[in-house]
Chain A
C-alpha cells in the first residue's frame, strides 16, 4: 500500500467578495473617485464607438464598456510611481491611470477639470491617429503610452506586454523603491508563453509585478471553458508559487480590497501576485454591436451581466449609503458626456461633403506624413564627445589578451563605472563566466547584477526590454545561441525593436543583446545561424560585430552608451584568438558608424565582418588580389559606413560581400541590394557574394563544414570577382 502525502501549493489562492459592511466602511472619497472614473471612461468609450461607427477610427477600437470595474478598482489606489501596462483592450486602464495621475481624487460635482479634459482629448486624439496624441498618433488605440503617468504602453500582441512590465517592476525594486507594476491582460493571454514564462521568472526573482487577468469570459468568440480546463484563471499563479486572488470585477470595491492585499505582499518584496477579475464586455470584441449579434452568446446572458454594470453597482451602493443622489449620478454622467462632446468638437468638424450630420477629422490635426520614420532611432546625441580610439593609430602600451577575456575585462570596467549595467542570460552567473567565459569574475564582483535566467528567452529578453524602456538600468542580455531569437521573436522584434518608434519616437531602449555565432561547433541545424540579416530587417535595432579584441571593447563601449537596442554579434572561433588591447584604457569607444579598412588595394572591395574578416585577409594573400578589405563593424542600415563603402567601390568598381552563414538568412542580400542601387554606375560587375549553402548546418562535421563558407569559398569568390575584371 502506497503512502499518500497531501501536497499544498506554496501560496494561497483565494476569492474575495464584498459585503454591505465593506461599502459602509469604505472611504466616501474613494467611492466618489471610483464613480467619477467609471463615468469618464464609459463616456469616453461610448464616444469612441460613435466616432468609430462613423468610420473615423482607422483600425480597431476595442471597447472596454462593461469592464471598467477591474481597471478602476485596481488603479484607484495606486501610487503615481506605480506603473501599468495593458493589452489591445486597454483604453480603460490607460484612462484610469492617466486620470488618477492628474486627479488622484475626483469631485463628481466638478468632474472634468482642465487636466482631465486634456487627458480625454489626448487619448482620443491618439486613438484617431492625430499628432496631438500621447504617441503623436503612431500608437493609436492599441499602443497608448504616457510614461510620466506610469502608463508604460498598451500592447497589441496578446501577452506581449507582460515581460516588459516584469522588467519595469524589476527596475523599481532594484532602484530601492517599493513601487510595483501591474500588467493587465485578458483571459486569452493566460495560455500564452510570454505570460507563463513571466510568471515563472518574476516568482523566481521576487519581482514586484501584479498579473491582472481581466477574465471577460471570451477570447473574441471562444469561451474560456473551450480554451482551457482550469477556467478559474487565477489558478495559473499557484503553480508558479504566486499568491493568487479571484474577484468579481464588476464590483470595483472588491477589486480595491484585493489590491490592498496584493500591495501588501508585492511591495514588501515577496514577489508577484496574480489577480483574476471576472468582467464582461458588453459589446463584441470590436465595434458597437453586442456579442449576441454574432451568435456566440445569448441576449439573456448579456442582460444578466448588464444588470451588474459596475457604474450602477457603485452608484447604487453610494445612493443607499446617502453619499449621492440619483440626480447627482445623472449629472456625473452628463458631465462626462459633455466632456467627450467637447473632445469631439476639438478633433472633428462637420463633413460638408458627407451626409447631413456627418463629421470628419480636422485635417490640420493629422501628423505630417514626413513624420513617418522620425524617431525610429536615437539621434545619438548620447555619443557626443566620446573618446574614440583605433588600433591602427593607437600608440600607447598594449596588452595581449584572448578575445573572450577581453569581453569580460571590458565589461568589468564598464560595470565598475556604471551601476546601471545589468547582465542577464542563461548560465551567465555560473561556470566561471557563463558557457564561454564572457562574464568571468563578474558575478562575484557585482552582486545582483549578473542574473542567471531560466531558459525562457521571451521572458528574460522582454524583462531586459522593460528595464531598458524604464531607463534606470541598462541591460546586457545574452542569447547563448543566435537561433534563440526565434524563440524570443516577439520581445526582440515586436517589442524592443519597435517600441521607440511606435510610442512616438522618444522612448529610449538602451539594451545590448549579445550572442555568439557558433558555426563550426557542431551544434546543428537549430543553433548555427548568423542573426545579422534578420536583425537588419528590424530598423530599431543597431548591429555591431568585432573581428578583434581591440574593436570589441570599443564597440561594446559604444553600444553601452547608445540609447537604442544594439545587437553585439560574437563568434566562437574568435573567442580563443588573441589580440592587443590598450593596457591602461578600456573606456574608449569605436567611432560610431566607422568601418575599419583592414588593407588597401585598387582592384576590388571585399566587405566582411566578424570572423570572416581574417579569413578574407588570408584569401586575399592567397589569391594576390589587390583589394580593399572593409571590416564593417557597424552592420545595420542606419549605422553602416556608407562613406567607406562608396569610396572603395568608386575606386575598384568590383565588390564581394563575404560572410559565413547560409543563404536564406544571409546578410549580404540586403547589402548588395543597397550597393547596386546606391552605386550602380560605379559597378563593373554584379555584386558578388560569398556565403554558405542553402540548408542550415548539420551536426555531422563534414556536412557542417560543407554548409558554411570557409577559406576556400572566399578564395573561389575572389577568383570569380577576378574573372569579372576581364582582360585576364
Chain B
C-alpha cells in the first residue's frame, strides 16, 4: 500500500514551496528520518525527512517545480514494493505552479499511481496540474506584472479569471522573474547608458521583500533609543573568555540581557493577533543572520534558561547552518522578539523592521568609546546605542520604555545576568 508524500506546510500561511533537489531516487529504500528532499521555502532550504520507511515509487515534483502545499510530491511504497504493482486508481497528476513567464507547457506529466489514492486537488488547479487561468486573465496579469501564482482563482473549478487579476495587487515585485523587468528596461534605455545585469529573484528574496513590505506597511512601528554604558560588560566578557572554552560575543550577552529584561517585564513578551494577545512564558528570540541569499532569522528558544556558553554555541550553530542552508523549518518559526546587530560593521545606531508576527526587534549598534557626562564630569566610556522597534498594537510606549530600561539596567550591570 503506497502512501503519498505531500509537500509540508513549511511556514505558517505558506501556499507554495519549491523542490530544490531530490536526495533519493525511484526505487530507493528509505528509513524513517532519512532526508528525502530539500525544499526551498520563503525563508530557507529545509530538509524533508521520511516519516516512515519504505521504497520510493515515484518522484512527482521535479527540482525547480514550485508546488502547492499539500500536493503529492512523491509516492512511498511498502519496503520492497515496486512501481509494477497493478494500478487501480486513476492517474494522479502533480499540481505544479509555474510562474507565468515560464514555459507554458505543464511541467508534470501524468503519472499513473499504483494504488487507489485520493489526492485533494487544489482549487485552482486542474487534474493536469496546470494553474487554470483564463486567456484574458493571463494577458492582463502579464501586462500588469501580477503574480498569477499568488492568486486564488474564483472562477469555475478555481480558474483564475479577469476579476481575480484585477483584484490582485498590481506591479508586485515578486512577479518579476529572471526576465528583464520592463520598468528597469525603460529606465535603462531612457536615462542610463551604462550596462546593467539582472538577477532573477530567489524565493527567499521574494519572501524578504514581501514580508518586510507587509511589516513596514501594516505593523505600526515606534522607536525607542537608549545608550548603554558597556565598559563593565566588556570587562566581564573579557574575563569570561579568558577562562571559557567557548568564546562569548557581545551579542551573546545582549541576547542574555534581552531574556533577562523580558523576565523583568514579562508583560512585554506578547504578540498581537487580530483576535487576542498572546502572552509567552518563555523567551524565544530570533537572531538576524546575514547570508549570501539574504536575511535569515533562526529562533533561539528558552533563552532565559540557557547559560551564556549555551547561547553562544547555539547561535554559532544556527548561524553556520543558516549560511549553509541547513536550517529546519521549525527553527525558523515562532519567537516574539528579534535581535539584529550591525555593530561589527561599525554602525553606531539604526532602526530595524519588525519580523512579523513578532512584536519587537532590538537593533544593536557598535560599542565604542564616546565622551559621556558622569556626575557632571565629562569622561570617556564605552557606549552601545540600541534602538527598540515595537509594535504599538501589542506594546504601548510606556511598556516599551519600561522594558528598554530593564534591558539597559541588565546590560549595564552584567553580573546580574549571570545569577
Contacts and interface: CB of A to CB of B under 8 A. Distances in A.
13 contacts: A680-B135, A681-B138, A682-B136, A682-B139, A684-B135, A684-B161, A685-B155, A685-B161, A725-B161, A725-B163, A726-B160, A727-B161, A727-B163
B154 A685 contact: no
Q: Which of A653, A682, A724 has the most CB of B within 10 A?
A: A653
A681 B153 contact: no
A723 B154 CA distance: 9
Given A684-B161, A726-B164, A727-B164, A653 B136 contact: yes
Given A684-B161, A685-B156, A685-B161, A727 B167 contact: yes
Contacts of B137: 684
A711 interface: no
Contacts of B153: 726
A726 B136 contact: no
Interface in A667-708: 680-685
A307 interface: no
Nearest to A653: B136
A724 B163 CA distance: 10
A682 B135 CA distance: 6
B161 A683 contact: no
A728 interface: yes
Interface in A633-692: 653, 680-685
B229 interface: no
Nearest to B155: A726
Nearest to B154: A726
B369 interface: no
A672 to B, nearest CB: 14
A728 B154 CA distance: 8
A723 B135 contact: no
B159 A685 contact: yes
Contacts of B43: none
A681 B139 contact: yes
Contacts of A724: 155-156, 159, 161
Given A682-B139, A685-B161, A727-B161, 9 more contacts: A681-B135, A681-B136, A681-B139, A683-B136, A684-B137, A684-B162, A685-B155, A724-B161, A728-B154
A682 B161 CA distance: 11
Contacts of B134: 653, 683-685
Nearest to A650: B136
The 8 closest A-B pairs by CB, nearest first: A726-B161, A726-B154, A726-B155, A684-B134, A684-B162, A653-B136, A727-B163, A684-B136
Contacts of A727: 154, 161, 163-164, 167
A476 B260 CA distance: 101
A682 B164 CA distance: 15
A683 B137 CA distance: 8
Contacts of A682: 135-136, 139
B133 to A, nearest CB: 10
Contacts of B138: 681
A724 B134 CA distance: 10
A680 B161 CA distance: 14
Contact of B162 (A653, A680, A723, A728): A653
Contacts of B161: 684-685, 724-727
Interface of B: 134-139, 153-156, 159-164, 167
A728 B155 CA distance: 8
Nearest to B133: A684
Nearest to B137: A684
Contacts of A680: 135
Contacts of B136: 653, 681-684
Contacts of A728: 154
A51 to B, nearest CB: 52
Q: Which of A683, A684, A685, A725 has the most CB of B within 10 A?
A: A684
Contact of A726 (B135, B139, B159): B159
Interface in A713-728: 723-728
A682 B143 CA distance: 13
A725 B160 CA distance: 10
A681 B137 CA distance: 8
Contacts of A683: 134-136
Contacts of B159: 685, 724, 726
A683 B140 CA distance: 11
A723 B155 contact: yes
Nearest to B164: A726
Nearest to A680: B135
Nearest to A679: B135
Nearest to B161: A726
Contacts of B164: 726-727
A726 B134 CA distance: 11
Contacts of A684: 134-137, 155, 161-162
A720 B154 CA distance: 14
Nearest to A685: B134
Nearest to A720: B156
A678 to B, nearest CB: 12
B155 A725 contact: yes
A441 to B, nearest CB: 53
A728 B139 CA distance: 22
Contacts of B155: 684-685, 723-726
Contacts of A685: 134, 155-156, 159, 161
A605 to B, nearest CB: 13
A728 B161 CA distance: 11
A70 to B, nearest CB: 63
B128 to A, nearest CB: 16
A344 to B, nearest CB: 56
A727 B155 CA distance: 7
A726 B163 CA distance: 7
A292 to B, nearest CB: 62
A680 B163 CA distance: 17
A442 B156 CA distance: 55
B224 to A, nearest CB: 44
B405 to A, nearest CB: 51
A690 to B, nearest CB: 17
A674 to B, nearest CB: 15
A653 B167 CA distance: 16
Contacts of A681: 135-136, 138-139
B124 to A, nearest CB: 10
Contacts of A653: 134, 136, 162
Q: Which of A682, A683, A724, A726 has the most CB of B within 10 A?
A: A726
A684 B135 CA distance: 6
A724 B137 CA distance: 12
Interface in A248-269: none
B196 to A, nearest CB: 31
Contacts of A723: 155-156
B289 to A, nearest CB: 41
A684 B137 CA distance: 6
A722 to B, nearest CB: 10
A155 to B, nearest CB: 47
A685 B157 CA distance: 11
A727 B166 CA distance: 11
A654 to B, nearest CB: 8
A683 B155 CA distance: 13
B150 to A, nearest CB: 16
